[in-house]
Amino acid sequence: MRIAFYAPLKSPDHKVPSGDRRVARLFLDALRLAGHDPFIASRLRGFDPAGDAARQARIAERGASIAAKLIAQWRKQPRSRPHLWLTYHLFYKAPDWIGPPVCRALGIPYVVAEASVAMKRAAGGWAAGHNAVVAALRQAQLVIGLNPADREGVLPFIHPDDWAALPPFLDAGRYAAASRPAGGVMRLVAVAMMRPGDKLSSYRVLGAALARLLDLDWTLDVVGDGPAAREVAAALAPLGSRVRYRGELSEGDVAALLAGSDLFVWPAINEAFGMALLEAQASGLAVVAGDGGGVSSVVAHGKTGLLVPPSDAVAFAAAVRRLIAHPARCAELGAAARCKVLRRHDLAPAARQLAAMLALSRPIRAA
């Protein structure tokens, strides 16, 4: 199938790396592996970070214009028209103004992967974005859920049979199993962009937690950069020379660093599920993380890592202490984590599941 792919928050080829861009690229990889022909239908960024109604109106107008052009183009050249439209990551700050009208006009299925609904945004500055998300969901023939926590909010706007759960996934073949020499200092690692908001809050919890463990032997490698880099450095300053800042690394360099580490640590405040948590486990690392959002869908507490209440620095420190004090247990959790990723979260099984889901999507009547 020829599939029009659109990511309104951030295009798969956007120049700024992020977990969202990573997942969009993985969806394209999975679609190709499943034998489909996906292409980026538009690079319009529909993101409004501030609840600016005027900005949303301008984005909506631009989206309507792009949709009209695509409709005209594909009606004129029917051989190039897509058989299905797939929008990745639909939420009130980045709704889809393009896909729904295109699908109505051409009579092709409209599919959404990873959608969330926040009813508190039904009024106020983001009302237009919220309403657009609800309208898109009502039109969708299929909603693919990566985060189980999103299901309850989405179900009122779709038929229950139109929700399909897909475990978050990555290409596990890009990650080598970590190898730990006997004894030595425990090598902790964290990978996250340095942005204000939840990322910075997570770094602050991490700093407060690890500051309680200065009596133990460990180091911390931090991968990431961004506008909150100074604030992150201040949050981790009490840890002193134990911290090594690696900056922004390529995917290959991140994989190499993970393979040389022992334990992944990240409070994961308000994470959808956390691609970095999957990457760490694919590398055979145990994880200590905050149990919020969809984190528990990728980290099995007591089996592949330890989960603690979100934002609880004391509980986080206690969990890290347990694994530093028992490196064999840490390695055991890491080995189980890699097995779980290979079995449940790898690209190949995701491609098979995605192919089966899309095969059931229904065409709609053209306008």
pLDDT at 271 (0 to 100): 86
pLDDT of 274 reads 85
Q: Which two tokens stand for residue 163?
A: 């929700």
CATH no. for residue 103?
Answer: 3.40.50.2000
Question: Quick one: 122 and 85 in the same domain?
Answer: yes
Residue at 47 is within a domain: yes
How far is residue 66 from each of residues 2, 15, 43, 72, 292, measured CA to CA in Å? 19, 22, 10, 10, 37
CB 185 within 8 A of CB 151: no
Distance CA 30, CA 349 (A): 9
367 is a domain residue = no
Both 253 and 201 in a single domain? yes
Domain contains 366: no
Residues 8-62: pLDDT tens digits? 999 999 988 888 899 999 999 999 999 999 999 999 999 999 999 999 999 999 9
The structure tokens 């908001």 sit at 197
- pLDDT (average), residues 170-187: 83
246-255, 287-296, 311-320: which has the highest mean pLDDT? 311-320
Residues 19 and 30 in one domain: yes
**How many angstroms separate the CA atoms of 236 and 209, rounded?**
10
Q: Is residue 6 domain-resident?
A: yes
Question: What is the average pLDDT score of the chain?
Answer: 94
Q: Are residues 121 and 60 in the same domain?
A: yes
Instruction: Tell me, yes or no, whether 186 lies in a domain.
Output: yes
323 and 352, same domain (yes or no) = no
Residue 367 has pLDDT above 80, yes or no: no
How far is residue 236 from each of residues 222, 230, 244, 361, measured CA to CA in Å? 10, 10, 10, 48
On whether residue 365 sits in a domain, the answer given is no
pLDDT band at residue 289 under the 50/70/90 scheme? very high
Better pLDDT: 26 or 360? 26
Rounded-to-integer distance, Cα 306 and Cα 302, Å = 6
What confidence tier does 71 reach under pLDDT thresholds 50, 70, 90? very high
Q: How confident is the model at residue 306 (pLDDT cuts 50, 70, 90)?
A: very high
Q: Are residues 338 and 351 in the same domain?
A: no
pLDDT > 90: percent of the chain: 89
Note whether 229 and 307 are same-domain residues.
yes
Q: Please tell me the distance from the alpha carbon of residue 318 to that of residue 303, in angstroms, as a whole number.
A: 17
Rg, C-alpha atoms of the chain: 21
Instruction: Check residue 177 and give its pLDDT.
Output: 85
Output the pLDDT for position 244: 98
Confidence of residue 366 (pLDDT cuts 50, 70, 90): very low
User: Could you give the CA distance from residue 65 to residue 177 in angstroms, rounded to a whole number?
Assistant: 48
Specify whether 146 is located in the same domain as 180.
Answer: no
User: 184 pLDDT band (50/70/90 cuts)?
Assistant: confident
The pLDDT, as a whole number, for residue 364 is 54
Residue 163 structural domain: 2-169+347-359
Residues 27 and 160 in one domain: yes
| SS3 of residue 45 by DSSP | coil
328 dihedral zone (left: phi>0; alpha: psi -120 to 50; beta): alpha
Residue 34 sits in the same domain as residue 131: yes
Answer with the residue of higher pLDDT: 324 or 292: 324
Write out the two tokens for 221: 């490698």
The reported pLDDT for the residue numbered 68 is 98
Instruction: Identify the pLDDT of residue 62.
Output: 97
Residue 134 has pLDDT above 90, yes or no: yes
Residue 284 lies in a domain: yes
pLDDT (0 to 100) of residue 365: 46
Q: How many domains does the chain have?
A: 2
**In the structure encoding, which two tokens stand for residue 164, read together?**
């399909």
Average pLDDT over residues 336-360: 94
> For the residues 342-366, what does the mean pLDDT come to?
85
Q: Is the pLDDT of residue 181 over 70?
A: no
Distances (CA, A) of 365 to 86, 102, 157, 158: 17, 12, 20, 18
Domain identity same for 155 and 263: no
31 inside domain:
yes
- 254 and 126 share a domain? no
